[in-house]
Each structure stands twice: as structure tokens, then as C-alpha cells.
Amino acid sequence: MASEQQLSAIKGAKVLMVGAGGIGCELLKTLALSGFQDIHIIDMDTIEVSNLNRQFLFRKLHVGQSKAKVARDAILRFTPRISITPYHANVKDPDFNLDFFKQFNVVLNGLDNLDARRHVNRLCLAADIPLIESGTTGFLGQVTVHVKGKTECYECQPKPAPKSYPVCTITSTPSKFVHCIVWAKDLLFAKLFGDKNQENDLNVRSSDSASSSEHVEDVFEIKNGEDIEQYGRRIYDHVFGYNIEVALSNEETWRNRNKPRPIYSRDVLPAELIQENGSVDKNHENGNAVKNQENGNVDKFFVADDPSAVFAMASLGLKNPQDIWSLVENSRIFLEALKLFFTKREKELGQLTFDKDDQLAVEFVTAAANIRADSFGIPLHSLFEAKGIAGNIVHAVATTNAIIAGLIVIEAIKVLQNDTSNYRMTYCLEHPSRKMLLMPVEPFEPNKSCYACSETPLLLEVNTHRSMLRDFVEKIIKAKLGMNFPLIMHGSALLYEVGDDLEEDMAANYAANLDKVLSELPSPVTGGTILTVEDLQQELSCKINIIHREEFDEEKEPDRMNLSGWTQAPPKEKENTNISSDNGASTSTTSQTVTLETYGDDDIEILSTGTESVSAGKKRKVSDISDATTSDLSNIADKSSGKKKHEELDDDDDVVVMLGDGNSDISKKKRLQ
């Protein structure tokens, strides 16, 4: 039962919720039933069918409507006397500025990506408003408290980078189905339906791959007089046949590996089958059609008569996404999906990116990945499994969301009462540890080297005679520091700025600066230069000390820049490195990597908690903690479950997790006294 003091704090509070998804629905309900009177919700998403299994405020009739608005209406039906203000918008919109954040007593986050989380964290720091972060994935969850000057901010500790795979592995020697998914999603799908000007290498890397580069340049263009069926077959033969033969020409590559086999459409789908408006029977394998014993005709699945159908499965009569398609079925899906993209969605061509909620995109990627997997002797997967791999999806557990929502409200009440000594980071475990499923630990002190909440400058090693300002903006300022509208100054000289209110001549000058090397800017940037970088929207400012460096290891440092002093997590596996371009596109350089994006139900990261050297919920002196090594909470869970460590979780339509190897370095951290 809440005390009078708690009730007073609750009723007088103005709360901002960011996110109305898996945790958001539970959180809004819990806030309303706990007595909160003034709640504001921001969410840019609309309701999808996949949300309905756990986001209980939504019904089928709400599909396509704003999550924030429908959630408000649902809550007001049983608590009509409270005020709930919904915003169907992006939290990064200019309307949600510093003045907007200052009106709240506490901000509660339930976001689905690192970029938006950093944005909210920075505005909370600037507005001096407490932030409570949360996340779930499957049975795991966590709640953390971030109060300026008292606890660490969201960016004080490393955040795991998305898993990446070297292009040489993806294009040449895949050994896992995930390699085939990344190839199909980030290379083939992007090449066929994405930005045509984006560098993309679909050739297998071999000693004579350069000789085939010309072939790659024009094979993806539709030729004069070529219909879409002919084009589809030609693409099929190039990526699954020709490229494999190119790979096989390098015998050294396959000395200790199983050789792949080239697959051509003529061998899998005889020409007469392509002309039929239907699919082959499931027992039709390797081009050998199953004949009907009575009439000798090829068996076919039901074919949808609706000409507007945009799903390859529907067009070919395949219904169960958990079936594993045969090579023939995958080939038919591949060609049908490609045809539908070019005939039904031609206006989107050239700007498409893979979306796990785009059924046709998932069908195409699944089929392409399976055909490639078959070529390399890798087991095939169902569409359901492939979608999970492509999105790194771990399906949500509604009970975990409810538990985490309750913990958020508990911490929010402590924050509203300024009960600093009782703040807790609480972790929800899948298996009991020391007979506990909930593990509360004290928050950490602010990290003095955090560029977001301290004034510690960053260091950037760069060749100032080769790297352009554009490289600095795209690869460092935006990709690594997460700034949206950067302003760059050298002393009093303004080198770069963006904004709608800029005069045309100024905007042109700044655009021209982007293509100049750093040392040739109007105010030259050389070794020893100190740059000031600001994002006025995020109210963030930091200084970057420039160190000139002549040479870089292209394999380990593909950006030709090395930023130190920021809190990006290192790669967990030897083969995984950070992608060198902002948008995740691959290039033909051998050091390039392809990133496997993640999606999910409220971003979680399990931090070091010191639970092996201090009891849960028990206070400990800073000096004691600094002298003791701390262990990772997930390792405690590992001891009881044998599971791998969960590093990063998200909130969206599906719960997402990044799985590491469980061997991260033991760290030393200070706890809040």
C-alpha cells in the first residue's frame, strides 16, 4: 500500500513515456492503476497483427492505427478521470525539444533502437530530468535508473555493436545459414531493389575476380526486349550458377573446404514449368516433376486468381511459413517474388531496404538464402526461421513485459521522492540465481570519461591530408556519436552546419566543405587541432582532439580513423568487426563487413553488476567496489542455465537479442554510494 508521501508524489507527477509497444502497454496500464494523473506518450509506430499476442491494449480492428492514440483510448475506458496525451510522432522530431522535456518530472523509455535511446538520454541530461530505461527479450529483462550527476547516464557504458560479418565470408565461403541470410538481405536484395548507385559486390572473391567485375556491372540491368521471367532466370543463373563457378576456379580456397555446386535454373525448373501459372508439387525435386498417374500432367498447387496479390506464397499456393521448402519451391518463390517486386511495386524500386515486416521481402530473402545454402551444403530453413534470423528475433513473453513495467513504476516512485539511496538496477533472469529471479543492484556512478555526461574530450586519429570532412561527419559524428544535426567548429570558424534555416550561399559553402580534405578546409584541421562538435537538437556538445596519423590497417581500421574516449563495445568474435559505412552497405574492399541488424521488444543490455562479490540490493562503499573485480550478471544466469549471454534487447514487434560468446572481459566499476 502506497504511503501518503508516495501518493502525493504520484498524483503531482507529469510523466513522459517514450514507446507504446510490448512494455509500453503494460507500463501505461500500471501507471494508470497506480494513480498517475498526467501521462504523455510518444510513439511513431502503427499497430500490426504481430503485436496483438502481447500488446493487450490493441485489437485486430486497430491494425494500422497509431499505437499511442489507441493505447490512450483503451486506458481511458477503465480510468476515465486521468489525463493521457498521445503523440503519433518520432521522438527525434524538432517539436520534442529541450523545453518540451523540461515540463516532465521523469521520462520512461521503451524504445527499439540505440539511436533514439541516445537522443532521449541526451535531452534528459540537458533538461536535468531523470530517465528510467527498460527492456525485455524472452524471459530476460532489466530496468535501470539514470539521474544526472548521481548515476551513470545511458551512454556511460559500452553498447554492443550489431553483429557484422566480413564480406569475404559472405560472398565466398559461407558456412552457416546466417551467412546466407546476410548475403541475400544485404547484398542481393539491396542490389536488385535498393539504391543502384550503392557499391555492392556479388562476385565471389577469387584470384581473378577482377576479370569478372565488368560482368557484374551490367548483369543486374534489364536488357532491351527482355521480359521479367527471362530477367529473373538470368539473375538466378548469375548469382547461383556463374558466381559459384567463379569461386570454384580458385582451387586453393577449397583445399580444406567442401566445394559448393553451381545451380542453374534450367536444372531445377525446366522451361515448360516456368510457363505454367502455378507451382510444382512438394515432391518435385531437382527438376524431376511428379506426374499424375491418371493423366500424366504435372501436379500444381492452387494459384490465386487475384491479380493484385503481392505475396509469392499466396501466388504459388504455399500456406505454412513453418514448412521447409524444397529447392524447387525456393526457386519458384525466388522468381515469383522478383516478378512481383518489378510488376506490383515498381514505384518502390531503387529505394527499398529490407524490412522484417515486409512479407514479400522476407519471402525473397528466405528463398535466396535457401538456394545459396543448398549450393554450399548448408541445411535449409523455413520462412519462419529465416525471418527470425534476419531480424535476430527472440519472441516476446508478455509476463516479462508486465514484470518489467511494474519495476519501472517502482523506480519512478523512488525518483519522484528523490529517494537516491534506494535506486536500483533490477534484472529479471530466466533461471533462478541464489533462489532469485529478480536481481536488484545499486546503480553505478557517472563515468568520468563519458562524452555525453562529462566534459572529457575525445581523441581522433586520422590522416588529415587524405580524409575528407564528409568522412568525418558520416563515419564519426553521425555513425559513432549519433548526432543528427551536427555543427562543427574550429575555434571561432564554423566548418559545417545543417538546418532548414540556413541561407542558400551558406548551405552551399558547407556542402562544398564536405568534399575537401581536412587539412584544406578554410580553417585547416591538422594534428593538434581541437574541434568543437554540437548537436543543438540534442543539446549535446563535445570536443575532439585531432591526432594526425599517416597509415592505417585497412582490415582492422577500414574507416581510416580511430576514435577513442567513447563507449562503443568492442566486437565479441574475431570474425566480427564494426561496419565501416553508416548505412550498412557493403563494398568491394576486402576489409568491408556486413551488419546483421536487430529488432525487438525494448532494448536491454546486461551490465556488470558485481553480484558475486556483493549481495543483491546490499550497499557497498565505492572504495570497496573499486578494489574488487565485478562479474557479468548474465554469467550468473549462465551458471544455472548454460545459456549464452544476452547483450542487447529491443522493444518493437518482436523481441530481439544479440547473442555474444559469454567471454567478455571482467571490468571494474564504481557503484553509487
Catalytic positions: 168
What is the strand order of the sheet 540-548 is part of?
493-497, 486-490, 530-535, 540-548, 458-462, 561-564
All residues at 6 or more sequence positions from 23 whose CB lies less than 8 Å from its CB, including other chains: 110, 134, 135, 136, 401, 404, 405, 408, 601, 602, 651
All residues at 6 or more sequence positions from 107 whose CB lies less than 8 Å from its CB, including other chains: 15, 16, 18, 101, 120, 124, 129, 130, 131, 132
All residues at 6 or more sequence positions from 65 whose CB lies less than 8 Å from its CB, including other chains: 46, 47
Angle at 562 between CA 511 and CA 198, to 5 degrees: 50
Coil, helix or strand at residue 362: helix
542 in a known ligand binding site: no
113 in a known ligand binding site: yes
Q: Which three cell numbers stand for residue 446?
A: 557517472
282 in a known ligand binding site: no
19 in a known ligand binding site: yes
67 in a known ligand binding site: yes
23 in a known ligand binding site: yes
112 in a known ligand binding site: yes
| Distances, alpha carbon 205 to alpha carbons 75, 116, 211, 250, 592, in Å | 57, 37, 11, 9, 13
256 in a known ligand binding site: no
43 in a known ligand binding site: yes
53 in a known ligand binding site: yes
Alpha helix ranges (H) inside 456-524: 469-471, 504-514
42 in a known ligand binding site: no
635 in a known ligand binding site: no
501 in a known ligand binding site: no
405 in a known ligand binding site: no
617 in a known ligand binding site: no
Strand-pair category, 14-18 with 106-109: parallel
List strand residue ranges (DSSP E) for 74-118, in order: 83-87, 106-109
Alpha helix ranges (H) inside 238-317: 243-248, 265-268, 271-275, 312-316
Cβ neighbours around 2 below 10 Å, total: 12
515 in a known ligand binding site: no
115 in a known ligand binding site: yes
Reported as type and span, the H/E element at residue 433 is strand 425-433
24 in a known ligand binding site: yes
Q: Which three cell numbers stand for residue 193?
A: 531493389
153 in a known ligand binding site: yes
All residues at 6 or more sequence positions from 381 whose CB lies less than 8 Å from its CB, including other chains: 177, 324, 366, 369, 370, 373, 389
149 in a known ligand binding site: no
Binding residues for Zn(2+): 153, 156, 450, 453
| Residue numbering of the annotated binding site | 19-24, 43, 51-54, 67, 112-117, 153, 156, 450, 453
**Numbered residues of the known binding site for ATP:** 19-24, 43, 51-54, 67, 112-117
